[in-house]
Each structure stands twice: as C-alpha cells, then as structure tokens.
C-alpha cells in the first residue's frame, strides 16, 4: 500500500525558511501531479503549489516568489523562504498516484504543522 510521509515542519521566526518533504512509499507505477495544500484554523484547505510531471509549476498568489515546489521521483518538496505569520498552517502533500495502469488514486500526507512567529 502506498503511503505519503511528510517531514520538515516546525516553528520559525518571520523571515525564516523551512523545507517540507513528502515521500511516497510502496509499489508505484507512476505519479502524475504533486502538490502542497495548507489549512489554518477556521479556514478551508487551499492549494499552495503544484508541480506536474513536466515540472510545470503553479502557486497561489500569496506565496509566489517566496515558495518553490520541486519533485524528485516519488518525493515532493516545498522550499519556503521569507515566511510570514500568515503562512502558519498545517501543510498537506497530495499526490496523484497510479498503482497500475488501471488503479489511480489521490493520496494525502498526514499533515505537518508550520508555525511562523512574529
């Protein structure tokens, strides 16, 4: 069974940096898009960044020029620079995974807390 394991969250001061990673384990045929979402208390989960199989990327406006998403085989990363208190949230990775040609599933990581202090 494929699982996503996240790491890299924590507490950082405003202006600091963190790198999140999310590794897929298990028997994988291929992975399409990989993405990071975040959710703050009382808010809906929002898409932060996405990277396609062709390494095309897209970001929510609030993180452009500060965050960078990248992928390496079955691992997706989120480099976060110039962090702001409003970036505080639980961050979730998301991968569109094929177990086989006919078995496609969307997987979520367990979530990792990012807290930015002012």
Q: How far apart are CA 22 and CA 13, in angstroms?
A: 23
Local confidence band at 26 (pLDDT 50, 70, 90 cut-offs) = confident
For 66, left (φ over 0), alpha (ψ -120 to 50), or beta? alpha
pLDDT tens per residue across span 55-67:
999 999 999 999 9
pLDDT tens per residue across span 69-87:
999 988 999 999 999 999 9
Residue 99 is predicted with a pLDDT of 87
Helices and strands (DSSP H and E) totals, the chain = 0, 11
Higher pLDDT: 54 or 3? It is: 54
């Amino acid at each position: 069974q494929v699982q996503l394991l996240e790491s890299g969250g924590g507490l950082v001061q405003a202006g600091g940096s963190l790198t999140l990673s999310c590794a897929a384990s298990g028997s994988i045929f291929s992975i399409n898009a990989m993405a990071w979402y975040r959710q703050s208390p009382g808010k809906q989960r929002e898409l932060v960044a996405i990277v396609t199989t062709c390494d095309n990327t897209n970001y929510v406006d609030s993180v452009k020029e500060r965050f960078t998403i990248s992928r390496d085989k079955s691992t997706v990363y989120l480099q976060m620079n110039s962090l702001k208190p409003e970036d505080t949230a639980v961050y979730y990775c998301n991968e569109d995974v094929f177990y086989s040609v006919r078995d496609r599933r969307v997987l979520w990581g367990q979530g990792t807390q990012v807290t930015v202090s002012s």
